[in-house]
């Protein structure tokens, strides 16, 4: 309105506010449901994935090892894209896709997908959160055991022709304290396995209730209480601002001298520079790392450290996990198409609110306001002031309109 001479107009809009219903608990009207007819699989995914999609009438193209430009050119006409972790589904790729309705990640983390860009385009991003839980938990346990008995170092030494029994003196896990930070799917499985070795399991999780973790043998406490008690610490949180550098110089200093740590979750949850300093000072007695901030890591200081056992991100690399994830993502897509259920959609809540009845009404309101303004400014005798009042129970709508006017 600035700079315009407007007269007076009063617009009264009435808005009702239906109860909010989460997307995954209601049946989606088929007209609104994404209905992919063509799916591009851009990585080597278990063959069951293709078979299930095709059995359900979806045309599938498998094209692997594409460079970014090739993917941008290829993605244009597909309705669905299935990836593992190597395909970088950046905003450029998403914006190049004219029909894309769903991005399925056969695996857990969606770090390789620009979820915000997808959400802005109304594209569902789906993962298979539990397909690789057991595999990641088992690798964590393997690293804990390797740290206690120096298995990889001893094996390397044997291959070099040595017979060095003193150098690889270990320590039992029995009776030791394992701190588990992040008590979700994998944290829980690690706990039960390591309890069978006689470890005492303690942990911290801001969401999992203490009585729930207590039922599977993990006593919860604050991190301040946890750090000084642990002989071993393993992290199983997502990587997000609140978990970046959970173990850092300050928190390592609070730990027992010689504490051993495992990161089989995401690179950066244990601060890499702080870990190296702690290993060099002996504050940390050893680290098992499956993940790195940069993969593969260009800086090899951690990998080369004698007390570090590392793997090239192998947590989900088992035949069983890959089969489960390939099958799960296909079944989830089919269930969504059939309107049975929506499982594993990481941006479902955002999309639900974007496409909800409430938002439709706000969109209608926006259109109505736009139409009024157009006629106001087109009028021969322009208004000096336009007042918009909204009617309806939802206070936020009134706030919204006030803020915008």
Ligand X SMILES: NC(=O)c1ccc[n+]([C@@H]2O[C@H](COP(=O)([O-])OP(=O)(O)OC[C@H]3O[C@@H](n4cnc5c(N)ncnc54)[C@H](O)[C@@H]3O)[C@@H](O)[C@H]2O)c1
> Is 346 or 351 the residue whose CB approaches ligand X more closely?
346
Active site residue 360: no
CA distance 204 to 23: 30
Contact 83, 314 (CB under 8 A): no
Three-class DSSP category at 302:
helix
Residue 256 DSSP symbol: P
Active site residue 295: yes
> Least Å distance between CB 71 and ligand X?
23
Distance of alpha carbon 31 from the chain centroid: 29
Give the three-state DSSP class for 263. Answer: strand
**Closest approach of Cβ 189 to ligand X, in Å?**
8
Both structure tokens of 60: 């599938």
190 Rama sector, left if φ>0, alpha if ψ -120 to 50, beta otherwise = alpha
Task: Give min distance, CB of 28 to ligand X, in A.
Answer: 25
- Nearest approach in angstroms of CB 38 to ligand X is 29
List, as one string, the DSSP characters of 140-174: HHHHHHHHHHTHHHHHHHHHTT---TTTT-----T
CB contact at 8 A, 13 and 365: yes
CB of 150 to ligand X, least distance (A): 22
**Catalytic residue, candidates 313, 324, 327, 358:** 313
Query: CB nearest ligand X: which residue?
Result: 184
Does 280 qualify as catalytic in the annotation?
Answer: no
CB of 105 to ligand X, least distance (A): 11
For ligand X, the closer of residues 201 and 361 by Cβ is 201
Catalytic entry in 266, 272, 305, 324: 266
Q: Which is nearer to ligand X, 205 or 231 (CB)?
A: 205
161 contact partners, CB below 8 Å, separation of at least 6: none
Least Cα distance to 37 among 54, 49, 51, 52 occurs for 54
Binding site for ligand X (CB under 6 A): 108-109, 129, 132-133, 136, 181-187, 204-208, 236-239, 242-243, 264-266, 290-291, 313, 315-316
State how far the alpha carbon of 21 is from the alpha carbons of 28, 165, 358, 366, in Å. 11, 63, 11, 23
The span from the CA of 16 to the CA of 356, in Å, is 13
Q: How far apart, in whole angstroms, are the C-alpha atoms of residue 342 and residue 101?
A: 14
Active-site residue, selected from the candidate residues 37, 54, 70, 295? 295
Three-class SS of residue 310?
A: strand
Tokens of 66: 């594409």
**Do 271 and 279 meet the contact criterion of CB atoms below 8 Å apart?**
no
Q: Which residues is 394 bridged to in the sheet?
A: none
The distance between the two most distant Cα atoms of the chain, rounded to a whole number of Å, is 98
Smallest distance from ligand X to CB 327, Å: 16
| Closest distance of CB 390 from ligand X, Å | 38
Cβ atoms within 10 Å, residue 239 = 18
Give whole-number Cα distances, 62 to 70, 88, 382, 395, in Å. Answer: 13, 16, 60, 50
Nearer to ligand X, 106 or 278 (CB): 106
- Compute the distance between CA of residue 22 and CA of residue 323 in angstroms, rounded to an integer: 30
| Catalytic site positions | 266, 295, 313
């Amino acid at each position: 309105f600035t700079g315009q001479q407007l007269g007076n107009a009063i617009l009264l809009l009435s808005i009702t506010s239906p109860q909010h219903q989460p997307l995954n608990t209601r049946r989606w009207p088929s007209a609104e449901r994404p209905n992919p007819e063509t799916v591009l699989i851009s990585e080597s995914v278990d063959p069951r994935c293709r078979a299930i999609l095709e059995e359900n009438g979806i045309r599938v193209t498998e094209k692997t090892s594409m460079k970014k430009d090739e993917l941008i050119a290829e993605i244009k006409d597909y309705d669905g894209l299935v990836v593992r972790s190597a395909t970088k589904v950046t905003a450029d790729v998403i914006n190049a896709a004219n029909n894309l309705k769903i991005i399925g990640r056969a695996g857990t983390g969606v770090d390789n997908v620009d979820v915000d860009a997808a959400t802005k385009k109304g594209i569902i991003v789906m993962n298979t959160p539990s397909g690789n839980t057991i595999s990641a938990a088992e690798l964590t346990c393997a690293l804990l055991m390797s740290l206690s008995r120096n298995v990889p170092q001893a094996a390397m030494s044997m291959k070099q022709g040595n017979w060095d029994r003193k150098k690889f003196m270990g320590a039992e896990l029995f009776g030791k304290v394992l701190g588990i930070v992040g008590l979700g799917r994998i944290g829980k499985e690690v706990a039960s396995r390591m309890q069978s070795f006689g470890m005492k399991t303690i942990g911290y999780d801001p969401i999992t209730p203490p009585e729930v973790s207590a039922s599977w043998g993990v006593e919860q406490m604050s991190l301040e209480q946890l750090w000084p008690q642990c002989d071993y610490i393993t992290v199983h949180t997502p990587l997000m601002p609140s978990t970046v550098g959970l173990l850092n110089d300050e928190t390592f200093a609070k730990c027992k001298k010689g504490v051993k740590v495992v990161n089989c979750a995401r690179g950066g949850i244990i601060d890499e520079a702080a870990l190296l300093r702690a290993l060099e000072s002996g504050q940390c007695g050893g680290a098992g790392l499956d993940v790195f901030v940069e993969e593969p890591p260009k800086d090899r200081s951690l990998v080369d450290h004698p007390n570090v056992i590392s793997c090239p991100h192998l947590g989900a690399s088992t035949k069983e996990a890959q089969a489960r994830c390939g099958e799960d993502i296909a079944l989830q897509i089919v269930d969504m198409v059939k309107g049975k259920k929506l499982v594993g959609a990481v941006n479902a809540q955002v999309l639900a609110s974007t496409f909800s009845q409430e938002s439709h009404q706000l969109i209608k309101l926006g259109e109505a306001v736009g139409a009024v303004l157009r006629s106001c400014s087109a009028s021969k005798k322009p208004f000096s002031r336009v007042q918009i009042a909204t009617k309806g129970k939802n206070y936020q709508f009134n706030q919204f309109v006030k803020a915008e006017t």
